[in-house]
């Protein structure tokens, strides 16, 4: 691309959305991606032994109630209508999440009616038992804090469904792209006004000294890295994954099972073939791919997954935001740039809004 109107740094779902929208407004967009492929943490790969689409960085299910977001992504892919169900294993038994009538009735051995559940869960002993079984160990693993530091009143903030609905998400639009997640990103970036360069990280100082100096930048990498960590590193939690191909048609009967006990070192097991129930050949094949998910403390160089929100980290974030505000033509967004955990539809929605408010489109 000889001439560039806008640089988009980071080709995750936020960056790809921004790039596509700007390109359709007639802007010539250069997309820079530090990894070898686009898609960010939603990037998938086809398992060479089974052909199953594996979510490399953990399960991703597109779900939304935002009509403009749903219309946008469906321009590029069709979804299979998959409805996400999550199970929880505790002391050798399996329960439906989220917290609702199926879980409560099985756990306590009762048969509550919908109208009886709120009063039942308002009782302190019941809340404490649910917290100890399904939240204490899981949360301590996820966030690396000992159980005694986990506030049991968290159960009061967990939504309780007084129904037998076992869909994990309330959003009425859900699914997995029929042609896989990679096709979503490839098609979003397939535009004559978009050029993509992978294996190229964005450097703010280098940009200022380059022929592209003065070209507006949409940046979705870590905001502290953008400024050379001059005030220190923002803290994160990270993850490690252990993948295994098994000679069975079905390992656990669903896509995700949470393991809530602290003694179990992993938090979840993913089984990816369940994300494509429409693929009859894959479902019938006597092989499956599972992946155990292990929460990890984050250190520099690790993949950042979950921001650690503390007064100290928020103060540090504000210092970096103040630096970003000083840079003319810079828009910082996305999960890493904003230091917030976003679902995919939220990232798309914020990208659409960023394009509308950036002043680049005239």
DSSP 30-45: EEEESSSSSSGGG-EE
Q: What is the dihedral of CA 253, 256, 262, 264, to 10 degrees?
A: 50
| pLDDT for 359 beyond 80 | no
Residue 339 has pLDDT above 70, yes or no: yes
3-state secondary structure of 86: strand
User: Residue 82's CB: how many other CB atoms inside 10 A?
Assistant: 19
**What is the percent of the chain where pLDDT is above 70?**
96
- pLDDT at residue number 149: 75
Q: What value does the mean pLDDT of the chain take?
A: 94
Taking only the tens place, the pLDDT of each residue in 94-135 is: 999 999 999 999 999 999 999 999 999 989 999 999 999 999
For residue 173, pLDDT beyond 80:
yes
Which has more pLDDT, 153 or 73? 73
Q: How many Cβ atoms sit within 10 Å of the Cβ of residue 75?
A: 9
pLDDT-derived band at 155, boundaries 50, 70, 90? low
Per-residue burial over 245-269, b = 16 or more CB atoms within 10 Å of its CB, e = otherwise? eeeeeebbebbbbbbbeeebebbbb
Q: Which residues are identified as catalytic? A: 157, 161, 237, 268, 293, 341, 343
pLDDT of residue 154 exceeding 90, the answer is no
Q: Give, for 72, the enclosing helix (H) or strand (E).
A: helix 67-73
Name the pLDDT band for 67 (thresholds 50, 70, 90): very high
Has residue 151 got a pLDDT over 70?
no
What is the per-residue pLDDT across 270-319, written as a single tens digit (0 to 9) for each? 999 999 999 998 899 999 999 999 999 999 889 999 999 889 999 999 99
The DSSP H or E segment spanning 126 is helix 124-131
pLDDT per residue over 240-267, tens digit each?
Answer: 999 999 999 999 999 999 999 999 999 9
Residue 112 sits at φ, ψ, to 5 deg, of -75, 145
Q: Is the pLDDT of residue 58 over 60?
A: yes
Tens digits of per-residue pLDDT, 18-51? Answer: 999 999 999 999 999 999 999 999 999 999 999 9
Q: How confident is the model at residue 146 (pLDDT cuts 50, 70, 90)?
A: confident
How far CA 158 is from CA of 112, 122, 133, 155, in Å, comes to 19, 12, 14, 5
Is 6-38+189-232+308-357 in CATH node 3.40.440.10? no
pLDDT in tens, 174-227: 999 999 999 999 999 999 999 999 999 999 999 999 989 999 999 999 999 999
Q: What is the pLDDT of residue 156?
A: 60
Domain ranges, ordered by start, for the chain:
6-38+189-232+308-357, 86-157
DSSP letter at 294? E
Position 1 pLDDT exceeds 60? no
């Amino acid at each position: 691309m000889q001439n560039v109107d806008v640089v988009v740094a980071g080709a995750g779902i936020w960056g790809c959305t921004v790039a596509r929208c700007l390109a359709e407004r007639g802007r010539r967009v250069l997309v820079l991606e530090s990894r070898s492929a686009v898609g960010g943490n939603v990037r998938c790969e086809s398992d060479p032994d089974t052909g199953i689409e594996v979510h490399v960085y953990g399960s991703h299910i597109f779900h939304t109630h935002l009509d403009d977001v749903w219309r946008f992504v469906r321009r590029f892919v069709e979804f299979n209508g998959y409805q996400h169900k999550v199970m929880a294993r505790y002391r050798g038994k399996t329960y439906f999440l989220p917290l609702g009538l199926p879980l409560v009735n099985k756990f306590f051995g009762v048969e509550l009616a919908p109208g009886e559940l709120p009063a039942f869960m308002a009782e302190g002993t019941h809340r404490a038992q649910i917290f100890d079984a399904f939240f204490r160990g899981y949360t301590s693993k996820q966030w690396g804090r000992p159980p005694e530091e986990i506030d049991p009143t968290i159960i009061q903030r967990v939504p309780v469904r007084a129904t037998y609905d076992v869909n994990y998400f309330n959003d009425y639009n859900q699914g997995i792209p029929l042609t896989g997640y990679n096709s979503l990103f490839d098609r979003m970036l397939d535009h004559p006004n978009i050029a993509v360069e992978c294996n190229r990280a964005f450097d703010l100082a280098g940009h200022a000294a380059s022929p592209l100096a003065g070209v507006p930048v949409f940046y979705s990498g870590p905001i502290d890295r953008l400024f050379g960590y001059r005030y220190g590193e923002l803290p994160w939690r990270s993850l490690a994954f252990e993948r295994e191909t098994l000679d069975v048609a079905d390992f656990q009967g669903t896509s995700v099972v949470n393991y809530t006990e602290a003694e179990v070192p992993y938090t979840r097991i993913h089984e990816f073939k369940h994300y494509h129930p429409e693929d009859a050949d894959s479902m019938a094949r006597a092989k499956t791919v599972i992946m155990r998910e292990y929460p990890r403390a984050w250190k520099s160089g690790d993949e950042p997954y979950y921001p650690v929100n503390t007064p100290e980290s928020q103060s540090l974030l504000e210092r970096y935001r103040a630096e970003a505000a000083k840079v003319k033509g810079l828009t910082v967004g996305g999960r890493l740039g904003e230091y917030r955990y976003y679902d995919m539809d939220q990232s798309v929605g914020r990208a659409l809004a960023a394009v509308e408010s950036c002043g680049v489109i005239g």
